[in-house]
Structure 1
Amino acid sequence: MAEIDVGIVIDRLISFLGAEVKLFGRLKKEVEDIKIELDYIACFLRQTDPMVDKEDSNGGFKLWVQHVREVAFQIEDVMDEYKLYHVPVAQHQQQQGLMAFLSRIAHMVQTVKRHLQAASKIRDIKTSVNEIKERSERYRFNTLQHVPGENCDEPIDPRMGLHFVNSEALVGIDSSRQELARRLADAELKRTIVSVVGMGGVGKTTLVKKAFDDEIMAGHFNCHAWITVSQSYRVEVLLRTMMKQLYESRKQSPPVRVDAMDGVELISICRDYLYDKRYIVVFDDVWKEDFWRHIEHALLDNNKGSRILMTTRSMNTAEFCKKSSLVHVHNLEPLPLEQAQELLRRTAFQYDEDKQCPEELNGLTFELVKRCEGLPLAVVAITGLLATKGKDVGQWKRLLDSLSAELDSSPHLSYVKQILSFSYYDLPYHLKGCFLFMGMFPEDYPISCKRLIRLWIAEGFVKGKHSMTLEEVAMTYLSELINRSLVQVSVIDSIGDVRNCQLHDLMREVVVSKSKELGFIQTCPENLSNHDRVARHLSICNKSNNFPMVVGNYQTHSAIFFDIEELPKSFRFLLFTKSKLLKELDFEGAPLTYIPEELGNLFNLKYLSIRDTKVKKLPRSIGKLHKLQTLDLKRSFVSELPVEINMLFNLQYLVAYYKDKQSIYSINSRRGMKLYSNFGSLESLEKLYEVDLEAYSGGNFFRELARLKQLRKLCITKLKSESGNALCDAIQQMIHLQSLRISSIKEEELLHLHKMSSPPVFLRCLRLRGRLMKLPGWIYELRNLTKLTLEWSRISDDSLQILGVLPNLLFFWIFEGYSGAQLHFHKNHFKKLKDLRLCWLNDLKRLIIDEGSLTLALIIGKSGIFQISISFTSRLKEHSMKPTSLVIHAC
């Protein structure tokens, strides 16, 4: 984790030494020296990061790393302070005469003053860095092979007991056990891998052990082996262990020289031994994605029906094997709450005479397993602690209320935290900060993925990759956390992308504990007391209005508000006047009615959200926020942006619209934002959603729009017929566009969108609201289109039929989009379609679906894969109409 902080600071030092700030004389050399020293420290920390994180790591070493982090923070803060009032020369050149001269003189005086202040602080920091270096040499922290105070013996693995789980603890695994048995005993002769994937503590080892034992007892295999892999391993050691077990399973002695063989010899001996045998081998607790590449050649594919079982927390690890073997992935989920409650009752009272849970404890057993969210390991661990409480309702209730503290202090539960923490320790350094940042969100809070990754980007956790936007890179980070079973998917959108995610409650406890230890996150008011400094990130979830008055501390980089009933004026004053190094400010859902002019003081701000607030106007000082990347005004009352917005050259994400719930059926149920002229200067914009065109006339708007060549998502509302061609010309310039939504100014207004010779080739989602009469020809060229929505198009010809040849179309929704009497889905069209919605087609009399169209087999029998929703009811509910016939050929 410390390596993340140091790495971010090094990146910023490079910028600091470059064109961003001009340093004079000796000061630049001082900064260069600090950067070089930090490079070495970062390299060392990257290698020792897993050792630092672990609970049993040396206390002195942890203290040394903490000092490294604090110095990194100091360097970052000094850079930010130095640049805080750095005014570009061009700004002074705008003034004339005596005022210009006096302004330049004042600027020079302030610049010299800032140089002297920065020089003093940087020299102090350099002294601190040198002291850290000397301390590391004095106490041998620079030696990777040995850290003072470390126990040379291997610590006891808390997962060892999972191999010997009592049968009383086997609840809710019958279907998974049967599935594994079926995979192990099927007729497939080729070597097959069965991977069981799930988060720590979900019961992977227990399930596989029972399935493995059943197969051994049944005698289906000639030889067998069980190998525990874990996070660190040597291939030669694993091969020797496996070979010995394979021989011993047949009551044979392994080769005499087995302990002296190298990797090549071991693989060769294994292959020879397994040549004519049907074997089963388990690799338990696999972490490395490329593990299979190291071991696969030893396990001969001899067409004898051999099986390999693998348990892992990573979906990527499971799927890596597909490169060279048949693979079946079994996702193991936590128990449903009812089964988890049964498990708790069965194990908690297994030694009682009646083995029954008292009636008065039933409600508490449910609340306890709810806190565990069905995680079997935690449920069983809690029963051990409950055994010390007897059947006293009061003690059970106190345990429920103090479960978080018990995870750290109770020997019955601390190992649960240890097992869950292994997943965190295994993360690459660039993902640890991203994962810990999720602790900013309250328990059980549905986290918007878009919101999360924009915050990651603003904090500097996301590194750019060639040909990918930062948002795309951040999505790969989130996908990896999901694949590692650290983050749970809670909502998926219509095109299959993850929309919301969340942390398992117990995994969140790990995150909060680690964040508190590192001073990474401070939640208010829960852990506000006993802090001598404010953490880098503030999460304020507070109905009591007991706000932290220390928020002005320069170390604070982000503040996010949840469930706030009132924002005191004194707190707002501190926030906007004293917290000048803030990077992220998220007021989503807060009772906020205005943003003061002092917003312009937050020169480092990269993320600002006033989504779902009652703010009506942005201050003109927002033009000073030159680093701002995200401006989220969704469902606020802001409808017109100040002209100063055009100075935000780094702005990537601009969203502002409000949905009128009273006119949900109207084409103008949503109102967007109004932009001033010259907004084309916002050339970094990737999302512009949505722009209200009602106030615009002439072609200047569309010339400015065409300058936004980096756009990935665009929404235009209230388009007039005469502007259609100009809009098409602008869209053709947006070669990266992936999502496009266009609405006309009224339902009867024609959308003239036919003039587009080169549509954006990466377009995935297209939504057109307004009369078309005929489908634009360029739509048929969209080979990557996955979702098409037509509203009030009233197409009367057969141009819809041509859509059937689009190779990737998955969703096709029509709302009053067709006015013909007959709609015919021809043979071999719409082969990939998953969701068809036909609504408000008042003139339709006959619907014909040919054999081979709409993946017909899925329509008539396979639920859960294909959805078809057909409604012929008028949206105004004035009358109801049904087609005279529905014809499906080929049933």
Structure 2
Amino acid sequence: MSSLLPKLGELLVEEYKLKKSVKKGIEELKAELESMQAALIKVSSVPLDQLDPQVKIWANEVRELSYAIEDSLDSFVTRVEGNEPTKPKIKHLLKKARNEFSKFKARHEIANDIKDIQSQVRKIKERRDSYKIDDVDANPAATTVDPRLPALYKKLSDLVGIDKPINELIKILSEGVPMPDKNPKIVSIVGFGGLGKTTLAKALYDKLSTKYQRVTTYQCHGFVPVGQNPKAKKVLLDIVCELDKELYKAATTMDERQLINELQTFLAGKRYFIVIDDIWDTQIWETIKCAFMDSHPESRLIITTRIVDVATKAGGIYHMQPLSDDYSKILFYTRTSGSEGPAEVTTKILKKCGGVPLAITTIASLLVGKHTEDWSKVYDAIGFGHADNGDVHNTRKILSFSYYDLSSNLKTCLLYLSVFPEDYLINKISLIWRWVAEGFIPYGEGMNHLNLERSISTSL
């Protein structure tokens, strides 16, 4: 839809010589499609498995209609913008006459097409009004338990390759803050979904918030999961609940400002260690951090996030790294209960996983109980089916959080990658210009691949 609307606007320019009635029809059609686009953006922000079936049907109808409209417009523009002869020879004059007739015919056909499209749009609009698409929201009945929750309850002894990052973080946390600074030291663990940020943060929290550590170092502590689209009040209440259950009972009726004041009062003069897990939004962070202003300089605050902007705002960035090859093998064989398949297939599977713990444990779960000769079949089927496997379902869910956090135009850019074969090496510059050609990225005069790349990186 985002590439279609500008094309409709271009039809209104004088060079196409459309009748006033046709132009008016295009203006009305464009206005209605803009309204549909706004509704579609709302639909696209809700996970597919949480959408009402009627909403899915309506969205599919709009999508198919947009394809039909775009095909019609492209056909019209191609016929009208034919090459004009440059020399006044007789054969060129005859060709020009044929071109003019073809253009006249094209204008007549586009007028009929617009009428037909308007009729279809009216029907779809009626269905939208009937289903209340503009009020679309996640289906409460489809809401499931957060698949990241088990990561909070893994034993340290069961984790692989966790000692090195824990020691690195402890070293960072042990470093003091500049003397004039009255705020806690902040460390931001940042990395894409599936790397184990939550697992690492929880393991570090468990190690530093033991009874011995609490007595000697920190006077209060807490681990607070946040997640996508949280309410600032709920996050602040969760922090209060972690720190003081009695205070929480009195705080449930407070607003954000009152909660921030209560937390500042409670934390004043105390050394604390708090983890805020999975922050997606800079605005939420800006609100949360107000509660920790003018705190004890020996306090420590850790956040985890997939969003570089959030980590940059918070400061103290620690980039989460994938597992090494050796640790990847250890984790893989631990999850397959020691079963070993063909060495060549195992190597290919681990290479595909790229050291991402979530990917390794998911693929390993598919191999448990299978004969070693079937491992190559599982490798060939990576990315397809297996929806009945709980680990695969949770993996898709976790990765989908990042997808649904993208803007609508970047979702389209991402989905476009499906035109390439699996494991294909994609040329970045070529890909960007393909996106431009498809209309996925707005292009302005004087732009080149460098500022287009910069624009895309900023959006991501």
Q: TM-score, normalised by structure 2?
A: 0.91
Shift of 1:42: 1.3
Shift of 1:80: 0.9
What corresponds to 1:329 in structure 2? Answer: 317
Alignment of 1:211-222 (within 5 A): 211-217=204-210, 218-219=213-214, 220-222=217-219
Alignment of 1:535-554 (within 5 A): none
- Whether the aligned pair in 2 keeps the contact of 1:196 and 1:312 (CA below 8 Å) is yes
What corresponds to 1:290 in structure 2? Answer: 283
Select the structure that is richer in strand.
1
Distance in 1 between the 2:189 and 2:266 partners?
27
What corresponds to 1:839 in structure 2? Answer: none
Which amino acid letter does the alignment assign opposite residue 237 of structure 1? K
1:468–1:261 distance in 2 versus 1, CA, 3 Å:
farther
1:471–1:16 distance in 2 versus 1, CA, 3 Å:
farther
What corresponds to 1:304 in structure 2? Answer: 297
Shift of 1:84: 0.9
Residue of structure 2 aligned with 1:198, choices 160, 179, 191: 191
What corresponds to 2:126 in structure 1? Answer: 134
Say whether residues 1:16 and 2:11 are aligned partners: yes
Alignment of 1:727-876 (within 5 A): none
- Whether the aligned pair in 2 keeps the contact of 1:281 and 1:309 (CA below 8 Å) is yes
1:320–1:59 distance in 2 versus 1, CA, 3 Å:
same
1:374–1:27 distance in 2 versus 1, CA, 3 Å:
same
1:401–1:161 distance in 2 versus 1, CA, 3 Å:
same
Distance in 2 between the 1:207 and 1:256 partners?
31
Say whether residues 1:432 and 2:411 are aligned partners: yes
How many equivalent residue pairs?
A: 452
User: C-alpha offsets along residues 478-518 of structure 1, whole Å, 9 cap, x if unaligned?
Assistant: 4247xx6xxxxxxxxxxxxxxxxxxxxxxxxxxxxxxxxxx
Which amino acid letter does the alignment assign opposite residue 256 of structure 2? G
What corresponds to 1:471 in structure 2? Answer: 449
Distance in 1 between the 2:399 and 2:41 partners?
22
Shift of 1:343: 0.8
Residue of structure 2 aligned with 1:261, choices 254, 275, 295: 254
Distance in 2 between the 1:58 and 1:394 partners?
42
Distance in 1 between the 2:431 and 2:455 partners?
11
What corresponds to 2:173 in structure 1? Answer: 184
User: C-alpha offsets along residues 556-594 of structure 1, whole Å, 9 cap, x if unaligned?
Assistant: xxxxxxxxxxxxxxxxxxxxxxxxxxxxxxxxxxxxxxx
Q: TM-score, normalised by structure 1?
A: 0.48
Higher Rg of the two aligned structures: 1
Aligned-pair Cα RMSD in Å: 2.4
User: C-alpha offsets along residues 446-492 of structure 1, whole Å, 9 cap, x if unaligned?
Assistant: 32222221212111122247x972534421244247xx6xxxxxxxx
Shift of 1:177: 0.9
Say whether residues 1:244 and 2:241 are aligned partners: yes
What corresponds to 2:103 in structure 1? Answer: 111
Distance in 2 between the 1:406 and 1:108 partners?
54
What corresponds to 1:7 in structure 2? Answer: 2
Shift of 1:361: 4.8
Residue of structure 1 aligned with 2:381, choices 378, 394, 402: 402
SS at match of 1:196: strand
Select the structure that is richer in helix.
2
Distance in 2 between the 1:407 and 1:312 partners?
29
- Whether the aligned pair in 2 keeps the contact of 1:165 and 1:206 (CA below 8 Å) is yes
User: C-alpha offsets along residues 607-659 of structure 1, whole Å, 9 cap, x if unaligned?
Assistant: xxxxxxxxxxxxxxxxxxxxxxxxxxxxxxxxxxxxxxxxxxxxxxxxxxxxx
User: Taking CA–CA contacts closer than 8 Å with sequence separation of 6 or more, which of the two structures ends up with the larger relative contact order?
Assistant: 2
Say whether residues 1:378 and 2:359 are aligned partners: yes
- Whether the aligned pair in 1 keeps the contact of 2:323 and 2:355 (CA below 8 Å) is yes
What corresponds to 1:31 in structure 2? Answer: 26
Mind listing any 5+ residue stretches in structure 1 that lack a counterpart?
A: 1-5, 322-326, 350-355, 485-891
Say whether residues 1:68 and 2:62 are aligned partners: yes
1:333–1:19 distance in 2 versus 1, CA, 3 Å:
farther
Say whether residues 1:447 and 2:426 are aligned partners: yes
- Whether the aligned pair in 1 keeps the contact of 2:194 and 2:399 (CA below 8 Å) is yes
Say whether residues 1:420 and 2:399 are aligned partners: yes
Residue of structure 2 aligned with 1:279, choices 265, 272, 289: 272
Shift of 1:7: 2.0
- Whether the aligned pair in 2 keeps the contact of 1:453 and 1:471 (CA below 8 Å) is yes
SS at match of 2:133: coil
Distance in 2 between the 1:357 and 1:380 partners?
14
- Whether the aligned pair in 2 keeps the contact of 1:456 and 1:474 (CA below 8 Å) is no
Alignment of 1:475-624 (within 5 A): 475-480=453-458
User: C-alpha offsets along residues 227-256 of structure 1, whole Å, 9 cap, x if unaligned?
Assistant: 2111111101111111121114xxxx1165
User: C-alpha offsets along residues 342-393 of structure 1, whole Å, 9 cap, x if unaligned?
Assistant: 11112322xxxxxx545x555443333222222111222233333332xx21
Distance in 2 between the 1:39 and 1:61 partners?
18
- Whether the aligned pair in 2 keeps the contact of 1:464 and 1:470 (CA below 8 Å) is no
Distance in 1 between the 2:358 and 2:293 partners?
35
1:133–1:94 distance in 2 versus 1, CA, 3 Å:
same
Distance in 2 between the 1:311 and 1:305 partners?
20
Residue of structure 1 aligned with 2:225, choices 207, 224, 228: 228
Distance in 2 between the 1:223 and 1:303 partners?
12
Distance in 1 between the 2:284 and 2:446 partners?
28
What corresponds to 1:173 in structure 2? Answer: 162
- Whether the aligned pair in 2 keeps the contact of 1:431 and 1:477 (CA below 8 Å) is no
Say whether residues 1:314 and 2:311 are aligned partners: no
- Whether the aligned pair in 1 keeps the contact of 2:218 and 2:272 (CA below 8 Å) is yes
What corresponds to 2:263 in structure 1? Answer: 270
Which amino acid letter does the alignment assign opposite residue 116 of structure 1? H
Percent identical pairs in the alignment equals 29
